[in-house]
């Protein structure tokens, strides 16, 4: 490894980067100073010649598909303007993630302003699929039996509702899965209980997702199930949870995000005149990330384009990495391209990677389709191949490192693997302070172990891409809670949550140390801050003095007597404070912070949010999130001049409740910018869309990247389940067959076999994504896992194939 670490990309790279500063780049990775000097690549020019009809585009990593699609949208807006139709027509752009929504809006806005001198925000609409469905339903809710003020349940509440239903069912039916559990584990059920609950939740989620995809209600499936012979415990369980969940939504008068898509389709089916108006309103539909399209999305966009057929679909099936846990299916884009082959286009040129890395990625495509031992060809990677940029392109491919590709093929424990990476980075970082580097892992847990090793070595790293969605929303909720109070300082109902849900958890460790002996609630206090950080709200576990003081705050009749006392200090009336050591000091400290936050209301909203964030957070990831939210609220204020602080506070609350999924914010990676001299630690999933000068791919073994063979390991196949069945896959197949009318053709284990191949194909695509994150240097390694003595992991079959390819190239 020493040779590899001491060499890096050449000084010519820095000269090239300097000479290209400010030059238009066809991948759109840097903003142009002017679009008029932009010359598209030949492949891009073919796309930009589009005038109408169906067009499918296959785009390789780093080819600038977002830039190209944004520029096409801007030119179509110009066409509408030339026809005098901007008053009642829009170009509709549908994309996969919410940060991509912001990215498209920004780019298209810049293009229409620079190229056409038009007003940004007019003549185009950018939405996620859920955002589009929300627009359709919100405009005509009566078509689907909803009131004008219908509510959308946030994902956190939906998750908790399903979990509660699962736990309730298992308490009443503890034997529900007994027939699937190996007898050895039935005798010691406590050992596997938490895993059974996890699997039960996955089964319930899959049942609900698939049933909604099929547009079928629980009572319909349960009626069909009663007509089947035999017993079907997985189906019976999943459908009863589905029924309980839908009943809970009905009682709340709410829908969830999956319901939105189904309801939008129902609305389009219910009123042909409404559908025709939408087809006229959106004369061109551009679909980004089409490899992640599912049947509902396919159906909705097909209806919206049926009147004019102006449907552009862009994607890369080789980067479809969500298919095994969502309804996404690459066949929709692939079939579309084949069906409309005369207007199919490729974007094959990429300036991201050095040539040896391009060669490696292209070899993986060939190997998977020609030599993979288990995958059928239709599940393998497929062309187009990555090609370097043409000679004279303003984004030339970077010079390769020496070596550009290195496969470390020594069997290591996870700890040894981490040690090797840390030692490598300790040598490389000081020599390359101006370059970016990432360590990419298959799953979060491996990333957390690595960050511990980096922290012990005192190396600078950023693990914000490892954060869970709940942790991100918890940080947003903390800011939202305080902002809501500042907006309504006279209403004490906003004050109590600031105390108990935001301010107190950040003081709880100190309280616990002071009151461990005296306070019987101290042990729960010691962990409450951690629970808050994880987005868990358990007021019942707060120390009694904290709860009591919160109630007193909520009952307070004159808030100013607490915040800014003149003659009477409200705190003096709470006589019991002195019975608990440090309690009065805590209350005084809380009041001081409230005064500072209230005084900051005169600041612009972005500065106000940054002020709150600096007081609340110490983690770099939380501070980075605060910065992103501050920018977003500032932009919302600029786009909506009538918004004042209450409206912006409401928008922040939408983010915290994950309703911003509709409005344009999410916890994905597209707002992330790698920093030179700082190690990014992320999963390969989170790294999609990003790039670094040097990339380490860890744990490329037959557990993280199985090949589809029976001898490999699969996360979906629990060790305690009979016959190595994947219970989630078996349940999904049962739901689909029951929907067709009968379970007579169901064969146990067949769905598990299909799931193995589906996982193998998706993990191969994930490996392809990991490889194509590297610009100049790529280092791959594997580990034997934590049970090496009993059952060591082996290098992934793909790892071995790539190792042989690299060796042959030498």
pLDDT in tens, 683-695: 999 999 999 999 9
**Closest to 321 in 3D by CA, of 666, 671, 689:** 689
Asked whether the beta carbons of 769 and 695 are under 8 A apart, the reply is no
Asked whether the beta carbons of 158 and 254 are under 8 A apart, the reply is no
Please measure the distance between the N-terminal and C-terminal CA atoms of the chain and give it in whole angstroms.
16
pTM for the structure as a whole: 0.80
Element (H, E) at 57: strand 55-59
C-beta atoms surrounding 282 within 10 Å? 24
Q: Is the pLDDT of residue 525 over 80?
A: no
Asked whether the beta carbons of 672 and 465 are under 8 A apart, the reply is yes
- pLDDT tens digits, 103-127: 888 888 888 887 677 777 889 999 9
Cα 555–493–487 angle (5° rounding)? 135
Asked whether the beta carbons of 166 and 297 are under 8 A apart, the reply is no
Residues 6+ apart with CB under 8 A from 658: 154, 155, 156, 469, 473
- Mean pLDDT for 364-381 is 97
Q: Is the pLDDT of residue 513 over 60?
A: no
- pLDDT tens digits, 699-747: 999 999 999 998 888 988 998 999 999 999 999 999 999 999 999 999 9
> According to the model, what pLDDT value does residue 661 have?
46
Cα 421–687–477 angle (5° rounding)? 110
**Closest to 397 in 3D by CA, of 25, 809, 2, 798:** 25
- Mean pLDDT for 495-512 is 78
Asked whether the beta carbons of 395 and 29 are under 8 A apart, the reply is yes
> According to the model, what pLDDT value does residue 468 have?
54
- pLDDT tens digits, 23-70: 445 555 444 434 555 789 999 999 999 999 999 999 999 999 999 999
**Closest to 59 in 3D by CA, of 284, 283, 286:** 286
Q: Is the pLDDT of residue 527 over 50?
A: no
Specify burial of residue 338 (Cβ count, 10 A radius: 0-12, 13-18, 19+): exposed
* Torsion region of 689: left, alpha or beta (phi above 0 gives left; psi -120 to 50 gives alpha): left
**Closest to 706 in 3D by CA, of 646, 790, 766:** 766
> According to the model, what pLDDT value does residue 538 have?
41
Whether the bond between 403 and the residue before it is cis, its omega within 30 degrees of 0, is yes
**Closest to 128 in 3D by CA, of 386, 280, 301, 340:** 301
- Per DSSP bridges, beta strands 91-95 and 124-128 are parallel
Residues 6+ apart with CB under 8 A from 712: 702, 703, 706, 756, 760
Distance CA 779, CA 178 (A): 45
> According to the model, what pLDDT value does residue 17 have?
35
Asked whether the beta carbons of 689 and 440 are under 8 A apart, the reply is no
Distance CA 524, CA 100 (A): 41
Question: With bands split at pLDDT 50, 70 and 90, how would you rate the model's confidence at 757?
Answer: very high
> In DSSP terms, which residues pair with 347 in a beta bridge?
59
Distance CA 137, CA 152 (A): 11
pLDDT averaged over every residue in the chain:
86
Distance CA 733, CA 725 (A): 13
Distance CA 513, CA 568 (A): 32
Asked whether the beta carbons of 762 and 320 are under 8 A apart, the reply is yes
Q: Is the pLDDT of residue 506 over 70?
A: yes
Distance CA 136, CA 141 (A): 8
Q: Is the pLDDT of residue 474 over 50?
A: yes
Kindly report which listed range (177-181, 352-356, 551-555) carries the lowest average pLDDT score: 551-555
């Amino acid at each position: 490894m020493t040779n590899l670490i001491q060499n890096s990309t050449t000084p010519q790279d820095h000269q090239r980067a300097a000479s290209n500063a400010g030059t238009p780049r066809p991948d759109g990775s840097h903003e142009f100073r002017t679009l008029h000097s932009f010359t598209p690549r030949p492949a891009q020019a073919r796309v930009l010649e589009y005038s109408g009809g169906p067009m499918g585009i296959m785009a390789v990593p780093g080819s600038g598909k977002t830039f190209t699609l944004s520029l096409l949208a801007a030119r179509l807006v110009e066409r509408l303007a030339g026809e005098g139709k901007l008053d009642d027509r829009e170009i509709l752009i549908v994309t996969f993630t919410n940060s991509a929504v912001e990215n498209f809006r920004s780019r298209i806005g810049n293009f229409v302003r620079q190229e056409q001198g038009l007003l940004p925000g007019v003549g185009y609409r950018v939405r996620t699929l859920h955002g589009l469905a929300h627009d359709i339903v919100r405009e005509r809710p009566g078509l689907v039996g909803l009131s004008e003020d219908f509510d959308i349940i946030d994902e956190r509440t939906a998750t908790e509702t399903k979990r509660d239903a699962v736990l309730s069912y298992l308490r009443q039916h503890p034997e529900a899965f007994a027939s699937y559990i190996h007898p050895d584990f039935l005798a010691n059920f406590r050992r596997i209980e938490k895993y059974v609950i996890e699997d039960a939740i996955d089964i319930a989620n899959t049942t609900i997702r698939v049933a909604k995809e099929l547009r079928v209600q629980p009572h319909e499936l349960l009626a069909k199930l009663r007509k089947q012979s035999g017993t079907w415990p997985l189906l019976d369980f999943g459908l009863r949870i589905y029924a309980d969940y839908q009943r809970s939504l009905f009682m709340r008068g709410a829908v969830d995000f999956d319901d939105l898509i189904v309801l939008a389709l129902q609305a389009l089916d219910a009123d042909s005149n409404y559908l025709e108006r939408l087809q006229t309103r959106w004369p061109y539909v551009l679909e980004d990330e089409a490899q992640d399209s599912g049947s509902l999305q396919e159906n909705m966009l097909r209806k919206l384009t049926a009147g004019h057929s102006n449907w552009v679909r862009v994607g890369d099936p080789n980067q479809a990495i969500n298919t095994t846990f969502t309804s996404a299916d690459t066949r929709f884009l692939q079939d579309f391209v084949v069906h409309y082959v005369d207007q199919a286009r490729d974007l094959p040129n990429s300036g991201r990677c050095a040539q040896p890395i391009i060669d490696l990625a292209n070899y993986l495509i060939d190997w998977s389709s020609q030599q993979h031992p288990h995958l059928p060809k239709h599940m393998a990677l497929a062309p187009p191949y990555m090609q370097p940029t043409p000679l004279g392109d303003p984004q030339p491919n970077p010079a390769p490192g020496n070596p550009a590709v290195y496969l470390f093929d020594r069997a290591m424990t996870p700890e040894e693997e981490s040690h090797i990476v840390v030692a490598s980075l300790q040598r490389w970082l000081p020599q390359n302070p101006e370059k970016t580097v990432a360590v990419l892992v298959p799953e979060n847990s491996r990333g957390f172990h690595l960050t511990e090793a980096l922290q012990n070595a005192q190396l600078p790293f950023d693990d914000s891409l490892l954060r869970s969605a709940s942790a991100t929303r918890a940080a947003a909720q903390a800011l939202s809670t305080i902002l809501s109070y500042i907006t309504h300082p006279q209403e004490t109902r906003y004050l109590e949550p600031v105390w108990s849900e935001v301010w107190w958890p950040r003081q709880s460790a100190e309280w616990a140390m002071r009151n461990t002996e005296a306070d019987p609630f101290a042990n729960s206090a010691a962990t409450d801050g951690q629970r808050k950080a994880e987005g868990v709200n358990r007021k019942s576990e707060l120390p009694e003095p904290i709860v009591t003081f919160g109630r007193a705050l909520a009952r307070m009749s004159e808030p100013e007597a607490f915040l800014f006392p003149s003659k009477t200090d409200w705190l003096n009336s709470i006589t019991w404070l002195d019975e608990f050591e440090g309690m009065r000091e805590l209350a005084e400290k809380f009041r001081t912070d409230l005064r500072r936050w209230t005084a900051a209301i005169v600041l612009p909203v972005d500065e106000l949010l940054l002020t709150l964030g600096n007081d609340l957070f110490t983690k770099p990831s939380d501070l980075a999130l605060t910065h992103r939210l501050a920018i977003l609220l500032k932009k919302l204020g600029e786009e909506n001049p009538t918004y004042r602080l209450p409206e912006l506070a409401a928008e922040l609350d939408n983010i915290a409740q994950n309703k911003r999924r509709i409005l344009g914010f999410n916890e994905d990676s597209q707002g992330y910018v790698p920093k030179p001299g700082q190690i990014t630690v992320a999963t390969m999933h989170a790294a999609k869309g990003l790039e670094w000068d040097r990339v380490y791919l860890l744990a490329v073994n037959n557990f993280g990247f199985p090949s589809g063979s029976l001898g490999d390991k699969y996360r979906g196949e629990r060790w305690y389940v009979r016959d190595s069945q994947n219970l989630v896959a078996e349940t999904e197949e049962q739901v689909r067959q029951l929907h067709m009318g009968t379970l007579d053709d169901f064969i146990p284990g067949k769905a598990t076999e299909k799931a193995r191949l589906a996982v193998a194909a998706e993990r191969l695509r994930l490996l392809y994504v990991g490889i194509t994150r590297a610009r100049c240097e790529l280092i791959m390694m594997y580990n034997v896992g934590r049970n090496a003595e009993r059952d060591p992991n082996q290098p992934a079959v793909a790892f071995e194939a790539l190792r042989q390819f690299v060796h042959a190239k030498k």
